[in-house]
A and B are shown apart, each in its own frame.
Chain A
Amino acid sequence: MKRVAAFFLLSLLLLFLQVAVLPRLLPDHLKPDLLLLVVAYLGLTQDWLRGGLCSWYLGSLEDVFAGSDFGLFGITFLLIFLLVKTGAGRFNTESPLLLLLLAFFVTMVKGVLLSALLLLFADAGRQWPLLLHVLLPEALLNTLFALLFLRCLPRRRAERRGGLSNLSRGLSL
């Protein structure tokens, strides 16, 4: 129960940073997607059911503060989690560079998925130039924040678990 509450609070805190704090510090309309980084992390560490539900929840949370149709980010984040989870077994999760590359990769995938979903279900004709315009800067920004995220990973847990958590130690060396 404590872990659920902690996850809920952490997700709200990250969302708060994303919508209220970081826009004041960063250039116009450019902001990192902190919840997406958590989804990538879940894809490497959690099982299918728990990670899938958490990713869907995080997407729905982002939906509350983004875009005009609720559910778009919910399904996008869920698909991204499934994609990362599918590929996670084929990568060396002990490499410190993995999450950084993953942050860049999932931002690109998010752009493609959002465009595809908007194209299939809504009017996406106007969205394309905007998506392309911010895709690369956002991917780079997410990579930068992934680096900060890695430095903030709890050390004690990292020592207990190995796997991805070694990224944290790897980077701090």
Chain B
Amino acid sequence: MFDLLRKYRTVLLAAAMVLAALLLYSQNLRRAEERTNPFERLILQVMAPAQTGLKTAIDRIVGTWDRYLWLVDSEADNLRLTEENRRLRSELGTLEELRLTNERLRKLLDFRDRQALTALPAQVITEDATSWFRTVMIDKGSNAGIREGMPVVVAEGVAGRIIRTTPNQARVLLITDASSAIATLIQRNRSRGVCRGSGTGLTFEFALREEDIEVGDQVITSGNGGVFPKGLPIGTVVRVEREEYGLFQQVEVAPAVDFSRLEEVLVLLEQSP
């Protein structure tokens, strides 16, 4: 017996390691809550100071270069910004009038503002370690009140949701990741569907062939699914393809958020009742 074990020691050792790794992976797949394990917490806490330090150093270098050394375009920028400021001031007046009108109409319709959310600003410090997935790390964690599953947005629209948390960091699954799916609807005609990530863009799935969807339509969150509040911008329809047969049409959506320039995000902490 021992001779047999000794003879196949290497094979048995390799099989035991593969089995253990497989069990660990499958156990993590099934875990619905508290998905951040002690190993992940340890590594993230060890690396946190270096990540934050690097970001601060790079920001300082870029800031010094832009503010004090690279001043070639400053005069032209100044003129352009003055002009832009004038234009924006006039637009602001119009928008203020629109806001007041909107408020009046909301009161008339007894429309409750369901998006009174507490938002926590955070900075993106690192990207995903591989080219295959779309996740980012932010510099706020459970100490700041962040929990797994919370939505993450930017001014342009939805960015993703929290999938891991440690005391001072959290990892965000971006909506462009292939494993991301959000319940959405077309703003114009309220057609429902699921927006899935495809790496760089999104696809609007389960849209019936007879639904009237056009290029340029805005896609927003539907509020179903319990993660994202209703009405947040997701993106714009850029391609619609209806084949001769089949139940659904193929719709491609360009995300509202430019993920290549993602630096600051807002984590929506809670919804008011």
Chain A residues in contact with chain B, CB under 8 A?
12, 15-16, 18-21, 23-24, 28-31, 33, 35, 48-49, 52-53, 56, 59-75, 78-79, 82, 114, 117, 121-123, 126-127, 129-131, 133-134, 137-138
A123–B125 touching, CB < 8 Å:
no
Q: Which residue in A15, A30, A78, A123 is a CB contact (below 8 Å) of B129? A: A15
Q: Which residue in B14, B25, B128, B197 is a CB contact (below 8 Å) of A75? A: B25
Chain A residue at minimal CB-CB distance from B55: A20
A69: which B residues are within 8 A, CB to CB?
Answer: 25, 28-29
Given A30-B131, A53-B17, A122-B29; A71-B163 close (CB under 8 Å): no
Task: Report how many residues on chain B are interfacial, defined by Cβ distance under 8 Å.
Answer: 50
Chain B residue at minimal CB-CB distance from A15: B129
B126–A19 touching, CB < 8 Å:
yes
B131–A138 touching, CB < 8 Å:
yes
Stretch at the interface among B43-51, B97-105, B227-235, B265-273: B43-51
| Other A-B pairs, 17, CB within 8 Å; known A52-B17, A66-B132, A126-B197 | A19-B128, A28-B260, A29-B199, A48-B14, A62-B129, A65-B126, A65-B128, A65-B129, A65-B137, A68-B177, A68-B179, A69-B25, A122-B29, A126-B178, A126-B179, A129-B198, A134-B131
Q: Is B94 an interface residue (CB 8 A)?
A: no
Complex-state Cα separation, A69 to B133, whole angstroms? 11
A35: which B residues are within 8 A, CB to CB?
Answer: 129
Q: Is B115 an interface residue (CB 8 A)?
A: no
Contact mask for chain B residues 37-79; partner A; CB cutoff 8 A; 1 contact, 0 none: 1011001101100110011001000000000000000000000
A131: which B residues are within 8 A, CB to CB?
Answer: 132
Interface residues of B in 184-223 (CB under 8 A from A): 196-200
Q: Which residue in B50, B133, B199 is a CB contact (below 8 Å) of A16? A: B50
Q: Which residue in A24, A63, A121, A130 is a CB contact (below 8 Å) of B178? A: A130
Q: Shortest beta-carbon distance, A117 to chain B, in Å?
A: 8
A64–B43 touching, CB < 8 Å:
yes
Q: Is B82 an interface residue (CB 8 A)?
A: no
Q: Shortest beta-carbon distance, B258 to chain A, in Å?
A: 11
A19–B13 touching, CB < 8 Å:
no
Chain A residue at minimal CB-CB distance from B54: A20
Complex-state Cα separation, A116 to B151, whole angstroms? 30
Chain A residue at minimal CB-CB distance from B199: A130
B90: which A residues are within 8 A, CB to CB?
Answer: none
Chain B residues in contact with chain A, CB under 8 A?
10, 13-14, 17-18, 21-22, 24-29, 35, 37, 39-40, 43-44, 46-47, 50-51, 54-55, 58, 125-135, 137, 163, 171, 173, 177-179, 196-200, 260
Q: Which residue in B24, B179, B197 is a CB contact (below 8 Å) of A122? A: B179
Complex-state Cα separation, A66 to B163, whole angstroms? 11
Q: Shortest beta-carbon distance, B172 to chain A, in Å?
A: 10
B18–A82 touching, CB < 8 Å:
yes
Q: Shortest beta-carbon distance, A103 to chain B, in Å?
A: 15
Q: Shortest beta-carbon distance, A90 to chain B, in Å?
A: 16
Q: Shortest beta-carbon distance, A14 to chain B, in Å?
A: 10
Q: Shortest beta-carbon distance, A152 to chain B, in Å?
A: 20
A67: which B residues are within 8 A, CB to CB?
Answer: 128, 130, 132-133, 135
A18: which B residues are within 8 A, CB to CB?
Answer: 129
A15–B47 touching, CB < 8 Å:
yes
Complex-state Cα separation, A29 to B39, whole angstroms? 26
Complex-state Cα separation, A33 to B133, whole angstroms? 13
B25–A74 touching, CB < 8 Å:
yes
Complex-state Cα separation, A122 to B133, whole angstroms? 14
B199–A133 touching, CB < 8 Å:
yes
B13–A71 touching, CB < 8 Å:
no
Q: List 22 A-B contacts (CB under 8 A).
A: A12-B47, A18-B129, A20-B51, A20-B126, A23-B126, A29-B134, A31-B127, A33-B129, A49-B13, A64-B39, A64-B44, A66-B128, A68-B179, A69-B29, A70-B25, A71-B27, A74-B24, A75-B25, A117-B25, A127-B132, A127-B179, A130-B198
